[in-house]
Structure formats: C-alpha cells, structure tokens
Structure 1
Amino acid sequence: MGSVAEVTDSTFDEVVLQSSKPVLVDYWADWCSPCKQIAPIIDELAAEYGDKVTFVKLDTNSNPQVPAQQGIMGLPTLQLFVDGTVVTSMTGGKTKATLIRALEDYL
C-alpha cells in the first residue's frame, strides 16, 4: 500500500532520479481541471501498486525548474522513470485502465 508523495524542484533528483523503484511523476497545477480529475486515479494506483512503483506529484506552479528541464508543455503530464530515465510519458486526462497498461511492464 502506498500513497502519493509531494516532490519539489529540490527533492526531485533524490526522490525520482535516484529511486531503486520505478517512479510515476504527476505534473499538475491547481488551475488544471484534468489534473483534478486524474488525481483520484493516481491515488487508487498508489494504493494498489505502491509496493512496486513510487507515485509522486509535482506542483508546477511552485516548482517550475523540473518541468522546464523535463520539457513539460501541457498538464497533466505523467512520466514514468526507471533508473533515472523516462520510459514513458503521457499528457492529458487518462483512464485508470490506460495508466495500468502503461505501468504493466514495470509492475
């Protein structure tokens, strides 16, 4: 069982890039409606798969450096990192089934 942790510009390297487990990063902002719609799905996935994948969210309003470095152009954007490298990236609202399919190879 897991929960979705907050990550910031200053903690991103340690939490995401140096993680021994795959990490799903949810880039979001408080003004983004699709971000609010996908958040409960990310919470469900964290509860179901948190032992195999780390789930984190990054507020792009408060933390502009990492999204700029990662080339984030739209919200919500989800990136899956394995060994510090992006292996898949998705932008826009997604269903739970779509997200599970994207994670399957890493579960």
Structure 2
Amino acid sequence: MTANSPDSGSPSPQTPKASLSSRLRNFIIALVAIILGVALFLGLQTQTGSASLDAQAEESTPLEVAMSNGKPTLMEFYANWCTTCQAMAQDLGELKQQYTDSVNFVMLNVDNSKWLPEILNYRVDGIPHFVFLDAQGEAIAQTIGEQPRPVLEANLEALVADLPLPYTQGDGQVSTFKAPVSSSKTSPDDPRSHGSQVN
C-alpha cells in the first residue's frame, strides 16, 4: 500500500468541505431552536399575563358593590392585550391581598362595551388607567400608565388614611386606547360585545 492509496486512512479532499457544511447546518439548527425557544417563552409569558388579569378581574370587587360598601376604591381600566397591565398584574395581585380588608379593587376591561359610560366619564385614553375613589365613591385622583409598586402602595396607604395621595401625577408606560365615539348598546350576539359577563 502506498501512502496515497484510499486504504491508507488519510482524509479525502472532500472531508474539510463536508465538515464545514455540517458545522454551518448544525449552527443554523441551533440558532433556529434558540429563536423558537425564546418566542415560545415570550408567548407563554403573554398568555400567563392575560390569564392572571382574567383571574384578578374575576376576583375583583364588582363596581356596584364598591360604590356602596363604604370602603375606598382603586379602579383599574385594563385590557388583556395591554403588556403594561400584564407587567403590573403580579404587584397589583399582591397589593390586593395586602389591602383586601380596607380597599376595594375594581377591574374594568376596556374591551367590554358595558363599561363605556365609565370609560367616557373618567376620560380613559390610555391603559392602565387608575382611578382612586374615596369611601363615598367620589373620584379623588387618577394616574395613567405603569406605576411602580412603592408608588401604588404609598397611594393606597394615603387612601386608607383619608389623606391626600402623594403620587397622582405619574404617567408611566401606557398602551393607547381610544373609546368608541358612541355609547350605543350592542347586542350580546354582536362579536364586538365580548360577552356580557366580561369584567
């Protein structure tokens, strides 16, 4: 056997090219897998945020009760598609647990036409939109956009103590929302009604 014979075990001239092609293919597969993993993670985070908002809305105090039970109220206008609302959901859920005995937490979904009178009354044009109501149900302050937890907590402390709210001019990150021009009622069968039971 000669040193250049096919049986000598030396690499063929095609091996480096095949190896480079194989590496490139493996790199692309790994890159696509990473991108898909990140997209799946972000998608699950959004679904989790929406589920959390829905769960909190189900557990929130009905507006009619909040207006008549003699406790101050934090009213939040929100939507499931609002990423800022989703980002604040955990903090608001924890604050709700902390202040459940002394403050009503009301959540009104801006996608539900049932709340159009309130949307127009409080001039909601971005969400999250928070309205602070005293024990008699009168609006005393409003904030719009993302609010840090310490700011919300300080405002809730003042609300409970019937003192002026320290942070009511904050305008954090907002999801733009435009209320429908007319307040005409939609049929429960109308797909735009989003169901009559949605908060």
Report the TM-score when normalising by structure 2: 0.47
Q: CA deviation at 1:17?
A: 2.6
Kindly indicate whether residue 107 of structure 2 is the aligned counterpart of residue 57 of structure 1.
yes
User: Which structure is higher in RCO with an 8 Å CA cutoff and minimum separation 6?
Assistant: 1
Q: CA deviation at 1:6?
A: 5.9
Query: 1:103 Cα shift?
Result: 1.4
Q: Is the 8 A contact 2:77 2:127 kept in 1?
A: yes
Matched-pair contact (CA < 8 Å) for 2:74–2:130 = yes
> 1:68 is aligned with what amino acid?
L
For residue 5 of structure 1, the aligned residue among 43, 54, 60 is: 60
Tell me the C-alpha RMSD between the 2 structures: 1.7
Residue 159 of structure 2 corresponds to 106
**1 or 2, which has the higher helix percentage?**
2
Structure 2: unaligned runs, 5 residues or longer: 1-55, 161-199
For residues 11-56 of structure 1, give each alpha carbon's deviation from its aligned partner in whole angstroms, at most 9, with x where no partner exists. x3x2233230001111001121101111211111110011111112
AA at the equivalent of 1:74: G
Matched, 1:89 2:139: no
3-state SS of paired residue (1:26): strand
Q: Which amino acid aligns with 2:153?
A: I
Distance 2:65 2:132 in 1: 13
Q: 2:80 aligns with which of 30, 39, 47?
A: 30
More strand by share: 1
Q: Does the aligned pair in 1 maintain the 2:61–2:104 contact within 8 Å?
A: no
- Give the TM-score taking structure 1 as reference length: 0.83
- The ranges of structure 1 where at least 4 consecutive aligned residues each deviate by more than 3 angstroms after the TM superposition are none
Give the number of equivalent residue pairs: 100
